């Protein structure tokens, strides 16, 4: 159904990050005939640099250190490319970062990158969006097995969701823009569910809290508030499948200018139960009831937000939880990947059992260097 990426010069933004590095890994493993892969980010860990040494010789790998908000840098970075996978993003669910910074990187950075692609005749552009473009909304309205045609009031009230929605709109509107060489830009956006897997810092935050709670996960979400997270290897694979399909004239017309929800076969489950499922075989338990009654959580979030607003002229106070975060935890919100399967042949590369085992092994390696007994003793590395 799709073409190969043989002969393509590709750049991945955010290539030093959780998802971006996985996209690059699959590109180099699955598409050995790429002419070039450029890795763009502000920093690269020594471990990541060492990992890509073994691929030298098969595909030309270049590291580009720069800021997505630097227009001159982007102009140089995009020269000679045919494909850009834009995975760079700044994520903030609680308000730790200034709104200007979040929107500057997520929105302005995306606009500048699109302009650089148009100026340099980059044909294909794939944007990593987010399920938060859809919601959950301020009212906490649920969606079960939603799709790209699901009607929903996405009344965003938090900078991160607003920024991803605005950036996605810029990307999709840019589809069909004339390139300098007379061609046209082809764009699409992928909206992943919550992404998990090896290297996910959010998982470690919950694991660390559980370790401090005698290896028992706090129940932060209602059991009924089911979601369907996606494994990092599967969302990375979706980018590559979309890129191949965009090069195929038969499928390109279906994809260009469209967005797609990307999930996999992870069973729908609440966030708290999900984290527990990843660490259960390591000896972790989970509390049976919410740490705090639901109405009380929302009332305290309201009071803390008022406090944060009152203190704003004097000091920055970030509440430990907000109404936005509570809506994420407590709203049933699941989506199907059928349209991506139909339009560009997306099929998860990893089964749920494989993804679960790989993630569990990683948790053990970074939080339990002495094995299961290390965790059972309530120690933290």
Catalytic positions: 160
Backbone Cα Rg of the chain? 21
Contact 279, 357 (CB under 8 A): no
DSSP letter string, 85-120: EE------SSS-S-HHHHHIIIIIHHHHHHHHHHHT
Closest C-alpha among 194, 213, 207 to residue 329:
194
The stretches of 9-70 forming alpha helices (DSSP H) are: 18-30, 46-51
Distance of CA 73 to the CA centre of its chain: 24
Cα distances (Å, whole numbers) of residue 335 to 48, 72, 134, 196, 339: 32, 39, 11, 16, 11
Going by the DSSP 8-state scheme, the letter that residue 127 receives in this structure is E
Rounded CA gap, 22 and 25, in Å? Answer: 5
No. of helices (H) and no. of strands (E), the chain: 15, 13
State the helix-helix crossing angle for 323-330 and 271-279, rounded to 10 degrees.
Answer: 70
């Amino acid at each position: 159904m799709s073409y190969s990426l043989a002969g393509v010069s590709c750049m991945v933004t955010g290539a030093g990050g959780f998802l971006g590095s996985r996209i690059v890994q699959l590109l180099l493993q699955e598409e050995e005939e790429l002419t070039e892969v450029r890795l763009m980010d502000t920093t690269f860990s020594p471990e990541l640099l060492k990992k890509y040494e073994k691929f030298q010789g098969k595909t030309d790998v270049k590291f580009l250190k720069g800021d997505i908000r630097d227009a001159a840098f982007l102009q140089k970075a995009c020269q000679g490319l045919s494909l850009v996978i834009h995975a760079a993003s700044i994520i903030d669910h609680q308000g730790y970062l200034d709104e200007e910074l979040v929107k500057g990187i997520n929105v302005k950075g995306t606009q500048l990158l699109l302009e650089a692609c148009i100026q340099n005749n980059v044909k294909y552009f794939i944007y990593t969006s987010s399920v938060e473009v859809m919601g959950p909304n301020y009212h906490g309205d649920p969606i079960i097995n939603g799709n790209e045609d699901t009607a929903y009031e996405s009344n965003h009230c938090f900078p991160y969701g607003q920024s991803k929605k605005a950036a996605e709109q810029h990307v999709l509107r840019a589809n069909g823009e004339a390139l300098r060489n007379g061609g046209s830009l082809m764009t699409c956006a992928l909206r992943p569910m919550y992404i998990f897997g090896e290297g996910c810092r959010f998982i470690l935050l919950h694991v660390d809290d559980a370790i401090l709670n005698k290896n028992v996960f706090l129940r932060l979400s209602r059991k009924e508030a089911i979601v369907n997270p996606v494994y990092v290897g599967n969302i990375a694979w979706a980018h590559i499948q979309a890129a191949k399909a965009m090069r195929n004239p038969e499928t390109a017309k279906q994809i260009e200018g469209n967005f797609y929800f990307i999930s996999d076969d992870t069973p729908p489950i609440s966030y708290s139960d999900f984290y527990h499922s990843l660490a259960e075989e390591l000896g972790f338990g989970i509390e049976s009831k919410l740490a705090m009654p639901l109405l009380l959580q929302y009332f305290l979030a309201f009071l803390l937000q008022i406090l944060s607003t009152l203190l704003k002229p004097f000091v920055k106070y970030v509440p430990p939880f907000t109404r936005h975060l509570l809506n994420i935890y407590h709203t049933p919100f699941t989506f199907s990947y059928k349209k991506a399967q139909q339009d560009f042949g997306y099929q998860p590369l990893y089964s749920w059992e494989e993804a679960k085992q790989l993630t569990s092994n990683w948790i053990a390696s970074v939080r339990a260097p002495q094995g299961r007994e290390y965790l059972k003793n309530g120690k933290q590395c």
